[in-house]
Amino acid sequence: MKSLLLPALCFFALFCAHANDSNATGRALSQAPDQAGAAAPEIQISQPAPSEAAEQSIKLVTEAAAMIKEKGEAAWADFRVPGSRWREGEHYIFVLDESGSMHVHPDPAVEGKNQLELKDVQGKFIVRGLLEAAGNPDTPEGWYHYQWPVPGGMLPRWKSTYVRRVQAPSGRNWVVGSGTYNDRMEKAFVVDTVRNAVAQIEKLGEAAYPLFNDRAGPFLAKDSYIFVFTMDGIELVNPAFPSLVGRNTIDVQDAEGKFLTREIIATATAKKSGWVDYLWPKPGESLPSRKSAYVSLAMAGDKPVVVGCGVYLDDAPQSAHLPPGLKAPELVELVRRAAALTEEQGEAAYSEFRKRDSSWFFNDTYVFIFTMNGVRHFHAAEPESEGRDDRALRDVKGRPLVQMMLDVGASPSGEGWVHYQYPEPGKLFPVWKSSFVKRVTYPSGKQHLIGSGVYNLNMDEVLIKDVVDRAALLLEKSGREAFASLRDPTGPFVFMDTYVFVDTPEGIELVNGGHPGVEGINFIHTRDLKGKLAAREYIEAAMRKGSAWVNYYWYRPGENTPSPKHTYVKKVQQGGETFIVGAGLYSDRPIRQAEEVQKLTWADLEEEKMSEALIRQAVFGEKSTLARFKVGRGTRVGLHSHPNEEFLVVTAGALKFDFTDREILVRTGELLLIPMNTPHSVQAMEDSEFLDFFTPAREDWLHREDYYLRSPAN
């Protein structure tokens, strides 16, 4: 919900530049087919080639390890040189000892400190995982994946870090590593993860299965996860789709008719290990995307099982489009009409609700009714389930969906929305369902809860206002004690890409169910992609009007690119405190600006201190970025490149640019054009100021991926 030009968080954000991401492991990424690891010697396949960025990390670590082996601790001085091949922007070498203390790192404040207890946003131990990845005596090298903000950034991103254990001439062991931010899983990482899972199963048997569900463990990374089948197709492990566990999926077909479980088992049986391609939903989605899974045979005690992990392919088109359903106001009208009928006729109305292809029961829309203690009293689509006590029923994410409905029915209004994941009738995968429920009183005097729902309902202003109003009521009643409920990922205030946030009037974020890592940050001076002071605007609107709708750019949960957001905010007062509570709609369409023409001065734009000797101001358009820099004499920005054309004019001073084939000195009043993707470094020959114009817009700056500017040498 807020901005992009934020000061650096703390040294942990810098620390994460060498390794990042929470959940997934990788270990021992062997580069030769015969280095499969002692636990799984039967695996003999060619290792998939890592990406160029991953190869760069491997190469850098391999060369650094060779230097340590030759020069020992004397290599530290080489690794610390800014702008050298060991330290270029986000790509740099770090060195740990076996106790978890950092000996080499771009941030001097980190060096000499033990980081063994450092965790990422999912609670995963970062340094412990790095040490473990390099701890196998047979393959003292490997990958580790976890989440952390880009240096100086705000939101966590996945980072894959390659580490290697090496012994110096002194006899001391060191772990050297380097990493790259990468939100995608790679095939090489998937093979590594499966090999580690096989090793755990063959060591622990079925006791290994809980490890694969642990979000703070090494087997959940990015959108990849471990799955395990019996040889007859019963699913034993599936963290992404737990509703499948215990089911026999031998006859399940993907969207193209492939019997995927049969093929997975056949591949593992015939080849011991191999790749299988099919269509399967990403975690949290219901529509399938193209997926390639690496599968392997393993022995869980004396029982053979198939272990797998997959990668969703780049730009894989989903296989279907969602059909249009009822809109929120139409569903509300349906439930209110049904409520009126039951208040008039009681149970005599049920026969009408059961009629298929009627206004009460059509497609996947139907009426359901609960008693006020959670017993399923009527269900048009599943009449066989009537009479069942569903108070403890939870969806695949642990949401107590019936209890949430009862809570709505017990509220002062007696009606409202509940959002949860539930399979469509006759379907395999749970999808998001939004149900409107209403408390009714029958002619007998008994109260019931009547409702109906829509699958994959598009969020709109009605739904956003409903969740904010309910959050406001909870805040008015409980104050700060409500915060835990508002940020609970299994509760009624966090669903789909919708979440509630709570700010103080001064702009401090107290609650953010979608991005908990930003809690505690003051956003009052933070600008969004268009330079708007978003938090200041919606706080002022709520304080002045009581409630308001505002537009700005912010991140969807799980994404690192800002999207247009239409947000509803409301002022709440409780116990002498004032809160601003809000939630919003994300859109894929740009926000139409209220002013097509804007007049600005440099004094209007925030000065961002990149380092002691480098200050930046920037304004962003749809397709371009204009910036002004002030730089101190001697400051050097290391070798870098960007997919943007750059037009630079020096307004004061002199800059020396180093290209691969020449040097160019640019003085006051002179211009320089740098083509896209041209590697270059720059040094200030005297105190200087210059204007920089880029096209397309500098998305890396917006995403806080500009570490090379935040640690220049001088």
Residue 429 pLDDT level (bands cut at 50, 70, 90): confident
Rounded CA gap, 307 and 296, in Å?
Answer: 5
Residues 111 and 146 in one domain: yes
Q: Going by C-beta distance under 8 Å and a sequence separation of 6 or more, which residues neighbour residue 491?
A: 399, 404, 485
**What pLDDT score was predicted for residue 3?**
35
| Overall average pLDDT of the 383-407 stretch | 93
Task: For residue 556, give its domain range.
Answer: 462-586
Selection from 134, 147, 217 nearest residue 177 by Cα: 134
Q: Is there a single domain that holds both residue 407 and residue 471?
A: no
Does the residue 303 lie in any domain?
no
Residue 681 belongs to some domain of the structure? yes
Q: Of 458, 473, 506, which residue sits at a domain end?
A: 458
Here the CATH number for the domain that contains residue 479 is 3.30.450.20
580-603 pLDDT tens trace: 999 999 876 555 444 456 778 898
28 plus 161 within the same structural domain: yes
The confidence score (pLDDT) of residue 88 equals 80
- pLDDT one-digit tens code per residue, 17-35: 333 333 333 332 223 223 3
State whether 530 and 560 are in the same domain: yes
550 and 484, same domain (yes or no): yes
Residue 77 lies in a domain: yes
**Residue 268 included in any domain:** no
Over 50: is that where the pLDDT of 45 sits? no
In a domain, 662, yes or no: yes
Q: Rounded to two decimals, what is the model's pTM?
A: 0.64
Residue 558 belongs to a domain: yes
pLDDT of residue 696: 87
Least confident of 43-52, 552-561, 592-601: 43-52
Output the pLDDT for position 655.
97
What domain count does the chain have?
4
Residues 53 and 135 in one domain: yes
Q: Is residue 222 part of a domain?
A: no
Any idea what the CATH number is for the domain that residue 670 is in? 2.60.120.10
Q: Which among 458, 490, 511 is the end of a domain?
A: 458
Asked if 118 and 70 sit in the same domain, the reply is yes
Residues 116-170: pLDDT tens digits?
A: 999 887 788 999 999 988 987 777 888 899 887 766 566 778 889 999 999 999 9
Strands, E assignment, 282-387:
288-300, 303-312, 367-371, 376-379
424 domain-assigned? yes
Does residue 262 register a pLDDT over 90?
yes
Is 610 or 287 the better-scoring residue by pLDDT?
Answer: 610
Final residue belonging to a domain, choices 156, 189, 222:
189
Are 441 and 470 found together in one domain? Answer: no
Lowest mean pLDDT among 9-13, 178-182, 581-585: 9-13
Grade residue 556 by pLDDT with cuts at 50, 70 and 90. Answer: confident
Examine the domain organization and report whether 450 and 563 are in the same domain. Answer: no
Higher pLDDT, 325 or 511: 511
| 495 and 529 both lie in a single domain | yes
pLDDT at 455 over 70: yes
Are 157 and 38 contained in the same domain? yes
Residues 434 and 552 in one domain: no
Locate the DSSP E strands across 73-133.
Answer: 87-88, 91-92, 94-97, 102-104
